[in-house]
Amino acid sequence: MSAIIINSHDPGFPEKASESDAHIAPPVLVPTTSGLLQGVQDNGLKIFKGIRFGHPASGELRWEPPVPFTSTTLQNATQLGPACVQQFPFGPPSGALAEFLFNNPADPPRESEDCLFLNVWAPVSARKQSVLVWIYGGSLAFGTGSLPLYDGVSLALNQDIVVVTFNYRTNVFGFPRSPELPLSGNNLGFLDQELALKWVQDNIAQFGGDPRQVTIMGQSAGAESVGTALTRHTPADAPFRAGILLSGAQPSTSPVPSFDAFNLFAAAMGCSQDPGPARLSCLRQVPASTIRNFTNSQFSLTYGPLVDNTTFFADPLLRIRTGLTARVPFIIGSMQDDGSFFALGQPDLADWLNETFAGVALPPAFVRSLYTPGLNDSQVISEIYKDFLFQCPAQLWGSAAVSAGIPNVYRYVYGAVFADLQSFPGAGAWHSSELFGIFGNYNTSTATAPEVELFKTMQTTIGNYIKNPTVSPALNWPTYVPGNSTATVAMIAFSDNVRPNDFIQLQTADSIDGPCNALWDAFLDVRV
């Protein structure tokens, strides 16, 4: 079909197209393994939403590997598909805030086990264009590729790339930790991710994308997902050529499986059989809504991946150092206040250390000594969260890659703080606040001129890397060198520096990683 081209490209930084505009845009057809997709063409983009790439993972397919969906018939690809079933596992106040920030409560996405859908935004003129595949965060417990924050219009239009977002199963549906399943059958969310990446390889050329120029990017658990993809693929079989890890990377993980959360869940669902086929069959009969009610209650535990040495490994750092992983460039980094969200409602350092590091003697006075004098306990806890979960893993992954000779590794810390993004007390440069700029989906009525300037700069930097990961994505940003000899860590927008020629200031790794080197790395890298 010959598509009608609308010549309305805006060289500025546009607001995302609204859903209400989509129905008046002309249709466009693209043949794929998922069928003949009917999307729309609008503002210089071809837009396809709700593309089914996997069969509904319900009934007998609940807790089964994803089954690829294939078709040759016409498929409507103009409406976002439902999110996978969500769990917001944090206690108050973080749980309610997580749902507020990441579930669009004014218009929450419909949830369903029938959720394996993806979305594509492609420039009308795309011909072998670079491709971004986005993997959302959410502690592997919640999230969806269909959030308004992740709309791909601005990125695709301004950076002239193809953008793909998709859903994968989370919480007990995606990472059940069930003794009934083989270890590799427990990491269903990772299998969903792999199926989406395969779909991109098989189909993205039909949208003008180049399957040889795919970059995978994720934030938080999405960044951990990018890392697990890097470590499970070899130099010869990676379905991507670069990665971007925003605030997340897997540390060393115990290979000993724990089934406690699933056993508690089974009992709560009234399936009292011993672990085995009968209990699993019982659980497959429980309505998804009943499961969601339980997993979002105070009685549920959390779920996550098990080490299976196929999709998820106990020591990813060792795999990197010994050359067993995909040898692709990556950007990795963290936020200056990555821990502020997680520290909410945590006022006592001694109690928090005893609970978080049970059985490990960590004197509060020693831990306080690692941080700036004068911080209260909640602020120290915030700093620990930032280091332990995000900054120290970034240091370890960057250092491991450099030691293995992986080229074009870049490390950053993002420090921009804007008044209209202070979504909770003490937020600062909080966990995920950089995404408003990267995706270009921010509040244009409240953003200041410097804020808009930085968002343009940040998005262009990410776009540069997606289009060519073999060169520096920004002025004055060298490849990462660990230690204290060379300043290579990009400190982004720490001093109201927002323009392309000055938004990066450089520091040595050791100058910012003191607590990592002194304490936390010993927990995160078992071979330190």
* Beta strand 489-492 pairing with 330-335: unpaired
Residue 522 DSSP code: H
Closest CA to 162 of 113, 106, 203: 203
SS3 track for 135-152: ECCCCCCCCCCCCHHHCC
Q: Which residue type is seen at 152?
A: G
Task: Name residues whose C-beta falls within 8 Å of residue 437's C-beta, 6 or more positions apart in sequence.
Answer: 416, 454, 455, 456, 458, 459
Specify whether 94 is catalytic: no
Residue 274: partners with Cβ closer than 8 Å, 6 or more residues away: none
The answer to whether residues 513 and 482 touch, using CB atoms and an 8 Å cutoff, is no
Q: What is d(CA 372, CA 261) in angstroms, rounded to the nearest whole number?
A: 38
- Length of the chain counted residue by residue: 528
C-alpha R_g of the chain: 22
CA nearest 291: which of 77, 54, 38, 113? Answer: 113
**Using CA atoms in the order 467, 311, 66, 120, what is the torsion angle rounded to 10 degrees?**
-10
Q: Classify residue 486 by its DSSP letter.
A: S
Q: Are 130 and 415 in contact (CB under 8 A)?
A: no
Phi/psi of residue 431, nearest 5 degrees: -60, 110
CA distance 111 to 14: 29
Q: Which two tokens stand for residue 439?
A: 């995706």
CA atoms within 13 A on the CB side of 178: 29
Tokens 């100058």, residue located = 511
DSSP state of 389: I
Rama region for 322: left / alpha / beta (φ>0; ψ in -120 to 50; rest):
alpha
Pairing relation of β-strands 27-32 and 34-42? antiparallel
CB 352 within 8 A of CB 346: yes
Catalytic residue, from 94, 139, 154, 220: name it: 220
Catalytic machinery residues = 220
